[in-house]
C-alpha cells in the first residue's frame, strides 16, 4: 500500500488538498482526527492526561479542553515530550490499522507535524503543501478569527519552509486559486496511481 504523507505549515492548505484527493476516491487518514479520537471520554489516555495535568484540563462536560492542553505544552518542552510519548504510539496504532483497511490504490496520511517528527515508518513519500506566510496568516485569520500574533507564534514553532522542502518528495505551491490547486492535485494523482502500479482508467 503506497502511503503519501501530506504535511505543511498551519493554514498551508493540507485539509483542502486532502479533500481534493478524497474527491478522486482516495482514502484519507487524518491524524488530526485520530488525535482527537485517542483522547475521547473514557479512554485510558484521557485518564492519564487528567492524572497528570489535573481536572482543570477538562471542559464542563468532562471532555478534554484541547486549547487548554495546547497552552500547557506550547512553550514547555518537557510537558510536550510527556504528552507526545503518551499519544504518538496510540495515534500510530490507529494509522497502521487504518492503512490495513484502505481500498483505494494508494492513501494519503495527513500529518501536520510530519517534518518535526521524522522518521515516520508508516509513509512512503512526503507531499508538502506550501503557501507564502502572508497567505497562511490571512487564510487562517479568515477561517478561525485568530489574531495575527497567535498565528505567527504557531508558524514560529513549526518547521521552516526550507526544512520541509529538504525532505519533500513532491511539493504543491498553494499560492493561486483553489481551481489551480485542484488541477495540481489531479496531476499528482496520476503520478501516484502510476507509482502504485494502477493504470489509469
Ligand X SMILES: Nc1ncnc2c1ncn2[C@@H]1O[C@H](COP(=O)(O)OP(=O)(O)OP(=O)(O)O)[C@@H](O)[C@H]1O
Query: Which residues make up the interface to ligand X (CB under 6 A)?
Result: 8, 10-16, 112, 139, 143, 174, 177-178, 181
* Cell numbers standing for residue 118: 521524522
Q: Which residues bind Mg ion (CB under 5 A)?
A: 14-15
- What is the full DSSP assignment across 67-112? HHHHHHHHT-HHHHHHHHHHHHHHHHHHHHHHHHT--SSEEEEE-T
Q: To the nearest 5 percent, what fractions of the chain are helix, strand and coil?
A: 55, 15, 30
Q: Which does 189 bind (CB under 5 to 8 A by kind): ligand X, Mg ion, none?
A: none
Given Mg ion, ligand X, none, residue 12, with its beta carbon under 5 to 8 Å by kind, binds ligand X
Residue 15 or residue 104: which is nearer to Mg ion going by CB?
Answer: 15
Nearer to ligand X, 113 or 167 (CB): 113
Question: What residues contact residue 44 under an 8 Å CB cut-off, 6+ apart?
Answer: none
Which of ligand X, Mg ion, none does residue 5 bind (CB under 5 to 8 Å by kind)? none
| Three cell numbers, residue 159 | 518547521
Query: Nearest distance from residue 21's CB to Mg ion, in Å?
Result: 13
Residue 158 interacting entry, from ligand X, Mg ion, none, C-beta within 5 to 8 Å by type: none
What are the grid coordinates assigned to 180, written together?
489551480
Amino acid at each position: 500500500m503506497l502511503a503519501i504523507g501530506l504535511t505543511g505549515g498551519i493554514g498551508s492548505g493540507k485539509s483542502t488538498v486532502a479533500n481534493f484527493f478524497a474527491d478522486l476516491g482516495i482514502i484519507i487518514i487524518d491524524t488530526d482526527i485520530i488525535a482527537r479520537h485517542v483522547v475521547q471520554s473514557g479512554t485510558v489516555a484521557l485518564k492519564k492526561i487528567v492524572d497528570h495535568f489535573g481536572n482543570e484540563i477538562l471542559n464542563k462536560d468532562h471532555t478534554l479542553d484541547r486549547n487548554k492542553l495546547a497552552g500547557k505544552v506550547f512553550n514547555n518542552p518537557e510537558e510536550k515530550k510527556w504528552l507526545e510519548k503518551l499519544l504518538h504510539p496510540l495515534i500510530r496504532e490507529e494509522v497502521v490499522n487504518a492503512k490495513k483497511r484502505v481500498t483505494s490504490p494508494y492513501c494519503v496520511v495527513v500529518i501536520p507535524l510530519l517534518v518535526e517528527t521524522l522518521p515516520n515508518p508508516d509513509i512512503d513519500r512526503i507531499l508538502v503543501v506550501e503557501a507564502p506566510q502572508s497567505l497562511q496568516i490571512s487564510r487562517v485569520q479568515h477561517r478561525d478569527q485568530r489574531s495575527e500574533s497567535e498565528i505567527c507564534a504557531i508558524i514560529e514553532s513549526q518547521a521552516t519552509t526550507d526544512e520541509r522542502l529538504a525532505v519533500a518528495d513532491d511539493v504543491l505551491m498553494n499560492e493561486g486559486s483553489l481551481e489551480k490547486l485542484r488541477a495540481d492535485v489531479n496531476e499528482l494523482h496520476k503520478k501516484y496511481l502510476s507509482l502504485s502500479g494502477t493504470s489509469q482508467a
